[in-house]
Chain A
Amino acid sequence: MNPIRRIARSVTTGALALALSLTCLLATPRAAADDTIYLKDGRVVTGTIKQDLDGYIWIATKIGGVETELIFKPSEIDRVERDAAAEAPTPVDPPKARPANPTPGASPRAANSGAPRAAVLSLGEGTQRDMVGLFITAESIRRIIPLLEEEGVQIVVLRINSGGGALLEIQRLSDLIEYELKPKFRVVAWIESAISAAAMTSHAIEEIYFMTRGNYGACTGWYGQLTAVKGRGLEDVLYMMEQISERGGYDPRIMRAMQILDAPLSATIDENGEVHWYGDADGGEILVNRPDRILCFNASDAARLKFSKGTADNLTELASAMQLPEVEWVGKEVAGVPYPVSKAEKALREFRLQTEDDQNRTNEYFQRYTQSINIAQSQQNRQDRAKFVNQARQALELMKRMVRNNPNFILFVFGMETQEQFDDWVAEQEKLLRDLMR
C-alpha cells in the first residue's frame, strides 16, 4: 500500500482527526504540486503537501532521490508556500475497507503532543508462549482493541516472535487484522521470527519490517510425525494463502514457495528498483528458492527483494524505517521488555501467562476432577461425599476459567468444536455433581 495512504489512514482514524469532519479531511490532500515549507531552523522542504491538520503538515518529498513523507509540527514551521496551480481539492481515494471516520474515543493526547501514538503488541515470546492458536489468538487481540483506542493509539506494531502453530487460527487472525485492526490503525509487522502460521498471519500486513536476525517462512502444514497436509486440505490452505497474499499485497508465489516443494522462485530487480517475481528457478536474475527447498527469508534477502520495508532492531530504528520523524511510543517501561508496555500489551501478556499456566496445569485440573468424582462416588456418607464434590467443583471452575481466558482450549484440550458443545459438557458435569449430593 502507498505509504501516504497509510499515513492518511492513521490520521483519519486517530486522535488528530477526532475534532475534524470527514469533509475537512478529504478536502486537504491535493494533487501533485511544488509546495514549499520554510522551517524555523532554516531548512526548506519542497514537495507535495498531502495533509494539513491543525497546523501539522504532511509533505511528500524526495531525499537523496528516495520518495519519503515528512511530518512537521506547527512549532517547526515558519511559513508555507503552496503551488497555486494545484489548489483544486482532490478527494482521497479511501483504502479498501478503511473507514474514514475517526475512531470514537480516540485519545486527545495525540493532538497535544503532535506525534503519532504507537504501541507495540507482542505476538509470541520466542521459544515460549508463542504458539499461534494458543498464545496468539484473534480473540485475545480483539479484546484489547478498546484498550488501544483508550490510549489513543494510531499505529499498532505487531512484534512477531513465534515458531508457528495451528492452521485454523490463521484465517481468524488474518480477518481480524484486515477488518478490525487495519480500519482503525496503521498496522505494521515487526519480525523477530515468523515461522509457519506466524508468517502466514503476518502476510496480511502490507508493511513488514525485520529485525536483523529476523526470519520469515517455512509455512508447510503438517501433523503428527512430520506428516504433510495433503490433498484437499492442502489445496484449501494454498487457496487461503493466495487470498491473504492479496490482502498484504504480496506475489502469491512467495508464500507458495514457503509452503510446498516444487515451487521454485526467482526474482529480478529492474532499473527502477521494482521487484519482478518468477515461478521458476531461472526466470529471474536472483534465485530465491530452489525447487527442492522450502523458502524462509532472512532479513537481508527480505530487504533486498523488498519483501520487507526495512530492518530495525530497536524502536528508534523502526521509527526511522517507518519514516516517522516523531512518534510517541505508548506505555510504561517494564524490566525485561525492550519497549514500552501499553495497557493493551500488558493485557496480552497476562493472557499468555494465564494460558501458559492453564496449559501446564491441564492434567492437574483433570486429574483432580476425575479423582475427586471417583472418590465421591465411593463415599456412602453424604457429608464425606460433599468434601470431594467440592474438590471436583473447584477443578471444574478452573477448567471453565481456562476456557473463558482462552476459548481455543475447547478444541485443543477438550477436543470440541464449539462453545455450545463445551457449555453442554459443563452442564452435564454440574448435573453429575448435583446428583452426587442427593
Chain B
Amino acid sequence: MMKLTRNLLLVGALSGACLLSSPGAIGAAVSMANPTPDRITLSSGQVWEGEILEETETTIRMRVVRYGITAEQTFQKSEVLSVKRGERTEDPAVEPTPKDPVRPAPGQTQRAPADGAKRVYVVELDGTFGELITQTPMRQAVEDAQRENADYLIFVLDNEWRANAFEDLPDDTAAFDELFRAEEIHPIFTEDIPRHWQKKPEIVFWVKQAMGGAAFLPLVCKNIYFESDGRMGGIGNLSNLFGSMGDEVVRQKQYALRMGHAEGICIQGGYPVELVRAMAQVERVYSYRIEGGHAVWVENYPDPSRGEVLLTDDGKDERADTIQELARSQGNDVLTLNADLALTLGISKGTVDTLEDLLFSLGISRNSAIIDGQSKSIMDGWERSLDNAQRELRRLWQEAWEVQVAGDYNERTRARGIRRQKLERMQAIIRRYEEALGRFLRQNGIPGVDQLQQIIEQIKLEQLADKR
C-alpha cells in the first residue's frame, strides 16, 4: 500500500513544471482536456488515458489524469501494446460533463481538475524524528509550498521507530521528552504559516507512524488522517521518566510541567487534553463513550450501563500489560492510537491508504492537482547532507588527532595550523546541522562547538609558547 502511494507521489513529481507551476497553467491543462481521451494500452494490460503530449521513436509522453490528479508519464514504446488517439475539442473552454460524483474505480478516468483546482503540496516526513524530520528542511519545504501557492499542505508522517536496522520498536517503548524537540518544529505551523501566508493553506497530517516526539507533530493541526496500519503514541513513559530519583514532589513538578506543555499542544490543535494524559501517564485511567456521535472522555473505569469502553487502566498489579499483550500491540497501560481508535475518538478524520483516498476524503479528489514541488529533493537533500556531515565530522575528528606536532618550529607550527583548521571546519559543520546532530555527537564522543573552541584556544597557547 505504501509503495502504491509513493509511486503516485513520484508520478506527481514527474509532472511538468510548466503544467503545474502556477494556477494559470492548471487552467490551461483543463481547457486542453479531450472529450475522448487518448488511450495507451501497455503489454502488462494496464490502460492509461489522457493526452499524448509528445511521441519520439522510443517513447510516448502523456499527460494522465488519475483520480483527479494530473501528472505526466513517459512510456517506453517497447512496453506499449496499442495507442488509440481520441478526438480533440475545438473549443478549449468546453468542459467535460461532470460525472457522477462518486469516487472512480481504479483505472477509471476522471475529468481533469477544474479551473481553480486546489493545489496540493505533499511533504513526506520519514526517517528519524528530530534528525531527518526536523525544522530546517520542513521549513524549506513549506516555503516552497508557499511559492507554489499551495492550498493544501499534506504531511505524510512515517517516522522511523526502530531499535536497530532490523527491529521495530514496540508500542510500549517511549520517548516523552522528545516533546521538546517537537516544540522546536511546531512554530512552522503555529507562527510561520499564520504570519507569512496571505491565504492560509489547509494543513493535513496523514499518519502512518507517529511515535515518540513525532506523536506531538500532528496535534497542532486540525486535520489528521490515519493509514490503516497507522499508529500514534510512544510517549507513555512520563510517569517513569525519573524512576525513584529525588523527592516525589519534584518528580510531580516535572510531570506537571511536561503535561502543561503537552496539553497546550492538544488545546492548540483542538484535541482533548485527556488524549495526551492517557498516552503519557500509566496511572491515568480513561474510558470513553459515544454521545451524539462524539467521544466523551471519562477519567475512570468504564460504566458498562452507559456503554463506556476502557481505554487505559492504571497498569498496576494484574492490570499491568503482559508481554503477550505488548507483543500484539494490545497493551492498555498507556494509550497508543491506531486508525480505528483514532477515528472513534475523533482524533482522526478518516482512514486512508492512498493519496487519492486522502484527497477524496478531503473532498478535493475531483478538483485538485499535486504540485510538482521541491519537497522530495529538499527532504532527500537534507538526508544526504546530514549523512555527509556526520561522515565528515568523524573523519575530521580522527584526522585532527592524527596530526603529529613534531619536527622543527615551522613543521610544528604548520601541524598545529592543520589541526586548528580541521577543528574549525568541524565547528562550521556542527553549527549548520546542530538541530539534528545531538545524538550523533554523543554516540561518537565528538565535542560540541564550545568544547572544540577550548581545544582551539589550547592550541593557540601551545603555539605561543613554542620557540624556534
Q: Is the CB of A214 within 8 A of B264?
A: yes
Q: How far is the CA of A314 from the CA of B256 in the complex (A)?
A: 26
Contact A261 B245 (CB under 8 A): no
Chain B residue nearest to A127 (CB atoms) is B180
Q: Is the CB of A296 within 8 A of B183?
A: no
Q: Does B261 contact A (CB under 8 A)?
A: yes
Residue of A nearest to B191 (CB): A338
Known contacts being A126-B183, A227-B247, A372-B461, is A222 close to B253, with CB within 8 Å?
yes
Interface: A361 (CB within 8 A): yes
Q: Which residue of A lies closest to B181 (CB)?
A: A127
The answer on a CB contact under 8 Å between A218 and B256 is yes
Q: Which positions in B face A, CB cutoff 8 Å?
A: 180, 183-184, 190-191, 194-195, 242, 245-257, 259-261, 263-265, 267-268, 273, 449-451, 453-454, 457-458, 461, 464-465
Whether B461 pairs with A364 at a CB distance below 8 angstroms is no
With A212-B267, A217-B257 given, can you name 14 additional A-B contacts, CB distance below 8 Å? A196-B257, A212-B268, A226-B245, A228-B250, A294-B255, A296-B257, A297-B260, A298-B260, A299-B264, A313-B194, A338-B191, A363-B454, A372-B461, A387-B464
Mask: chain A, 266-298; 1 = CB below 8 Å from B; 0 = not? 000000000000000000000000001111111
Mind listing 9 A-B residue pairs with CB under 8 Å?
A164-B257, A193-B264, A219-B253, A228-B247, A297-B260, A298-B263, A364-B453, A371-B458, A372-B461
Given known pairs A212-B268, A217-B257, A294-B249, the reply for A375 and B465 (CB within 8 Å) is yes
Cross-chain contact A294 with B273 (CB below 8 angstroms): no
The closest CB in chain A to the CB of B467 belongs to A384
Q: Does B245 contact A215, Cβ atoms closer than 8 Å?
A: no
| Chain B min CB distance to A383 (Å) | 12
Which residues from chain B contact A294 at a C-beta distance below 8 Å? Answer: 249, 252-253, 255-256
**What's the nearest-Cβ distance from chain A to residue B270, in Å?**
9
**B457 engages A368 (CB within 8 Å):** yes
Instruction: Check B268–A220 contact: CB distance below 8 A.
Output: no
Q: Does A15 contact B (CB under 8 A)?
A: no
Nearest to A214 among chain B residues (CB) is B264
The answer to whether the Cβ of A391 comes within 8 Å of any Cβ in the partner chain is yes
Whether A220 lies near B261 (C-beta < 8 A) is: no
- Is A218 touching B257 in the complex (CB atoms < 8 A)? yes
| CB neighbours of A292 from chain B (8 A) | 252
Q: Say if the beta carbon of A75 comes within 8 Å of chain B.
A: no
Looking at the complex, which one of A195, A297, A361 makes contact with B453 (CB distance below 8 Å)? A361
Q: How far is the CA of A292 from the CA of B249 in the complex (A)?
A: 8
Complex formed: what's the CA distance from A296 to B262 in Å?
11
- The answer on a CB contact under 8 Å between B256 and A296 is yes
Q: Is A216 located at the chain interface by the 8 A CB criterion? A: yes
* A129, B265: Cα distance in complex, Å: 21
CB neighbours (8 Å) of A313 from chain B are: 190, 194
Contacting residues, chain A, for B268 (C-beta < 8 A): 212-213
Residues of chain A from 123 to 165 with CB closer than 8 A to chain B in the complex = 126-127, 163-164
A215 and B464 in contact, given A364-B457, A367-B457 (Cβ under 8 angstroms): no
Chain B proximity mask over A191-224: 1 for CB below 8 Å, otherwise 0: 0010110000000000000011111111110101
**Known interface pairs A212-B264, A213-B268, A226-B242; A260-B256 also in contact (CB < 8 Å):** no
Give the CA-CA distance A318 to B191 in the complex, in Å. Answer: 15
Residue A225 interfacial (CB < 8 Å): yes
A300 within 8 A of B: yes
Chain A minimum-CB-distance residue to B272: A300
Q: Does A360 touch B at the CB level, under 8 Å? A: yes
Residues of A within 8 A of B256 (CB): 217-218, 293-296
A388 interface hit (Cβ, 8 Å): yes
| Chain A residue nearest to B184 in the complex (CB) | A127
Q: Is the interface of B mostly helix, strand, loop or mixed?
A: helix
Chain A residue at minimum C-beta to C-beta distance from B461: A371
State how many angstroms separate the Cβ of B284 from the closest Cβ of chain A. Answer: 11
The answer to whether B248 touches A261 (Cβ under 8 A) is yes
CB distance from B346 to the nearest CB of A (A): 17
B257 and A222 within 8 A (CB): no
CB-CB under 8 A from A363, the residues of chain B are 450-451, 454
Cα separation A371 to B462 with both chains bound (whole Å): 10
Nearest-neighbor residue (CB-CB) of A376 within chain B: B465
Closest to A357 in B: B450
Q: How far is the CB of A260 from chain B (nearest CB, A)?
A: 6
Nearest-CB distance from A136 to chain B (Å)? 16
A213→B267 contact, CB < 8 A:
yes
Contact at A388–B190, with CB atoms within 8 Å? no
Q: Which chain A residues lie closer than 8 Å to B449 at the CB level?
A: 360
Q: Report A291-313 residues with CB < 8 Å from chain B CB.
A: 292-300, 313
Kindly state the separation between the CA atoms of A296 and B264 in the bound complex, as whole angstroms: 11
Expressed in whole angstroms, the Cα–Cα distance for A340 and B256 within the complex equals 32
- CB-based contact B252/A226 at 8 Å: no
- A307 to nearest B CB, angstroms? 13
Q: Please give, as numbers and ranges, the residues of chain B lying within 8 Å of A298 by CB-CB distance.
A: 260, 263-264, 267, 273
The answer to whether A338 and B458 have CB atoms under 8 Å apart is no
Nearest Cβ distance between residue B16 and chain A, in whole angstroms?
Answer: 34
Cβ distance A263 to chain B, nearest Cβ, rounded Å? 10
B253: chain A residues within 8 A (beta carbon): 196, 218-220, 222, 294
- CB-CB under 8 A from B183, the residues of chain A are 126-127
Contacts of A127 in B (CB 8 A): 180, 183-184
C-alpha spacing A363/B194, complex, angstroms: 41
Bound-state Cα–Cα, A293 to B255, Å: 9
Asked whether A368 lies within 8 Å of B461 as measured between CB atoms, the reply is yes
In the complex, are the beta carbons of A314 and B242 less than 8 A apart? no
**Smallest CB gap from B260: residue in A:** A215
Please state if B454 and A220 are interface contacts (CB–CB under 8 Å).
Answer: no
Q: Is A293 a contact partner of B257 (Cβ separation < 8 A)?
A: no
What's the least CB distance linking A390 to chain B, in Å?
10
List chain A residues, Cβ under 8 A from B453: 361, 364
Contact with B along A229-259 (1 / 0, CB 8 A): 0000000000000000000000000000000
**Set of chain A residues within 8 Å of B242, measured between Cβ atoms:** 226
Asked if residues B461 and A391 are in contact (CB atoms below 8 Å), the reply is: yes
Q: Shortest beta-carbon distance, A279 to chain B, in Å?
A: 17
Question: How far apart are A220's CB and chain B's nearest CB, in angstroms?
Answer: 4
A368→B465 CA distance, assembly (Å): 13
Which of B246, B249, B264, B461 is in CB contact (< 8 Å) with A261? B249
Provide the bound-state CA to CA distance between A391 and B248, in Å.
Answer: 49
The smallest beta-carbon distance between B413 and chain A, in angstroms, is 15
Contacts of A338 in B (CB 8 A): 191, 195
Residue in chain A with minimal CB distance to B252: A294
How many Å lie between the Cα of A214 and that of B457 in the bound state? 42
**Minimum CB distance partner of B273 in chain A:** A298
Residues of A within 8 A of B257 (CB): 163-164, 195-196, 215, 217-218, 296
B458 touches A367 (CB 8 A): yes
Distance of B263 from chain A, by nearest CB (Å): 4
| Residue from the set B253, B254, B449 with the largest chain A CB neighbour count within 10 Å | B253
A361 interface neighbour in B184, B195, B249, B450, Cβ under 8 Å: B450
Q: Which residue of A lies closest to B270 (CB)?
A: A212
The 3 closest A-B pairs by CB, nearest first: A226-B246, A215-B260, A213-B264
Knowing A360-B450, A371-B458, the reply to whether A213 touches B250 (Cβ < 8 A) is no
Check if A226 sits within 8 Å of B254, measured CB to CB.
Answer: yes
Could you tell me the distance between the alpha carbons of A196 and B458 in the complex, rounded to whole angstroms? 39
B248 to chain A: which residues have CB within 8 Å? Answer: 261
A293 and B259 CA atoms in complex are apart in Å by 12
Chain A: CB-nearest residue to B453: A364
